[in-house]
Amino acid sequence: MAKTEDKKKKFELDRKKSEAAERKLQEKKQKEKAKKQKERAQLIKKKENIERKRINKILKYPFSLLFRTSALAGVLYFIYIFFGLEADLTKSILKSFFIFCTVYLGAGVIMVAVIYVLSEKKKVEMEEQRKIEEEIRKQEEEERLAKQQQMEEEFKEAEAKRQEELRRFREQKEIEAEKQAKEQKEEVEAEEEQSNAPPIQQEIIYEEEEQVA
């Protein structure tokens, strides 16, 4: 009886340990999933900030350079017509401003067109990169789900095996208990028969038992 109780306790302890390990594993998976999602969101945000800064720099630098170049062209033209050709001050300023506007607007239109073409090209590249990253993420998610499903199936198989062993153990215990109860019943019946027998018959029974012993 002590051995059967020890076996039962061992089975129950193993089952509790397996359930605790499964809960711990599920919690660990949830934490890892949340951590990966957080890291992925931070990485995407960081990339977006870097890309935004780079785009702003790309957009601001050409126009800043164009403004300086146009201003320099206007100043040089003003120096040329005012000091070189000795033109009127008002005419020199107006013509210099006209040169500044012509250079700035003309080159600006060309620059805007070039930037638009480059931005469209970059947009296509970013869209392709996003699709590739989405496919990679989807593939990783499928692999993770497949591994998780495999682990769950293995756990279910192990749990079913433990339940089957526990069922067999209980059946064996019931059989042993029935056998023991039957033996005890037979012993009680034998003792009752012996106590109810006449004195002479009891002596005969005692002699038979001594001969058997």
Classify residue 86 as left (phi > 0), alpha (psi -120 to 50) or beta.
left
The full 3-state SS of 32-84, as one line of letters, equals HHHHHHHHHHHHHHHHHHHHHHHHHHHHHHHHHHHHHHHHHHHHHHHHHHHHH
For residue 73, give the nearest of 106, 110, 24, 31 by alpha carbon.
Answer: 106
pLDDT score, position 15: 65
pLDDT score, position 209: 52
DSSP 95-145: HHHHHHHHHHHHHHHHHHHHHHHHHHHHHHHHHHHHHHHHHHHHHHHHHHH
Contacts of 197 (CB under 8 A, 6+ apart): 205
Q: If the chain, 213 residues long, is cut into consecutive pieces of 10 residues, what is the mean pLDDT of each piece?
A: 56 67 74 77 79 76 82 86 80 86 86 83 84 85 84 80 80 80 75 62 50 49
Contacts of 103 (CB under 8 A, 6+ apart): 66, 69, 70, 73, 74
In whole angstroms, give the CA distance from residue 186 to residue 160: 39
In whole angstroms, give the CA distance from residue 103 to residue 131: 41
Asked whether the beta carbons of 108 and 66 are under 8 A apart, the reply is: yes
Tell the residue number behind the tokens 């012996």, with chain if given: 194
Considering the entire predicted model, what is its pTM? 0.38
For residue 79, give the nearest of 89, 69, 70 by alpha carbon.
Answer: 89
In whole angstroms, give the CA distance from residue 156 to residue 49: 46
